[in-house]
Amino acid sequence: MSRKEFWFSVIFGMAVLLFLGCGTSNKAVVNPAVNGGPAFDFTSRTVTLNNGIKMPILGIGTYRLTPEEDEESVYLALTDGYRLIDTANVYMNERAVGRGIQRSGVPREEIFVTTKLLPSDYENVDKAIDDTLARLNLEYIDLLLLHQSFGNYVEGYKGLEKAVADGKVRSIGVCNIYEERFDEIIKIATIPPAILQNETNPFVQQSEMREHVRPYGTILMSWFPLGGRVDNFNNTQTRLFNNETIVEIAEAHGKTPAQVILRWHLQSGNIAIPGSRSADHILENISIFDFELSAAEMQKMSALDTGILSLDFRNNIDEISNFLSPNVPMDFNAQE
């Protein structure tokens, strides 16, 4: 039996046991398994990861905000009912995220915190995690991801597995990675990635990658879920919000384009982490559990896929200059 077949059998077995061991409820609104992935529970707003841990399916992203904006964004999100927060050491806002969590008064066990390590940390994961925990002012991380598949990402992943054994991290995964390098991780993994975080939106639906990671129970988590604004010339968000199909569906439901896109993510089996500094938009983005896209509407959305990424990690990824080189460490403790 190959490693891929082994993990598939393990995940399938866990799913059967969970199904047989749990009673059904007329009150639970569970989105059936989409694209062969785990079912999203729209009542609890969670999904069960391949390690048995429940993770919220909608969260707040914190990329490209100032520390002051990040703290307020996290505080507002938790107040509005969000329970998933996504950050990274390279965002230089982990301290601000920690302050927002403390201000909210929400019990720690109700919050799911995701953060990421940059390639410069992959050969010293223990110290990087300790520093991140100190900045966040937390005792453990719910989900820790390798931010990029540069540098010694294989050694970095082994470090994540050790952190799980040490009790510092509960779940692990990868970002910005595609088939070949994902398979390299799988070959050495004793814990399969719970999450793959890649750029995903109606224009970039990641169908092939979703299918590739499905046998391991790995769930797709979407960055730039509402499209990206890399620069004035690469603004998929504006094009998505003005897309005729999306606008038409939004008007039919009395919703905004952003809400339709986020609902599409969840019904597609994607965890979504839209970010915003606006209190109104933060509330808008979580107000998507009172309507449902029809099968016909989902099909129309599926037809929007172009496969064109804002940041393409599929080819010549070692030459990408948009992100930091793994050989250039940063002083993450310099953040406010």
Q: Which residues are catalytic?
A: 91
Q: Which residue has the tokens 């995940």?
A: 11
Tell which residue, 71, 173, 89, 176, has the closest CA to residue 134: 89
Q: How many CB atoms lie within 10 A of CB 292?
A: 15
CB 225 within 8 A of CB 270: yes
The residue written with tokens 């979407």 in the block is 222
Distance CA 229, CA 211 (A): 27
Which residues does 101 contact at the CB level (< 8 Å), separation at least 6?
74, 78, 85, 108, 111, 113, 136, 137, 138
Dmax over CA atoms of the chain, in Å, equals 54
| Cα–Cα dist 169/133, whole Å | 10
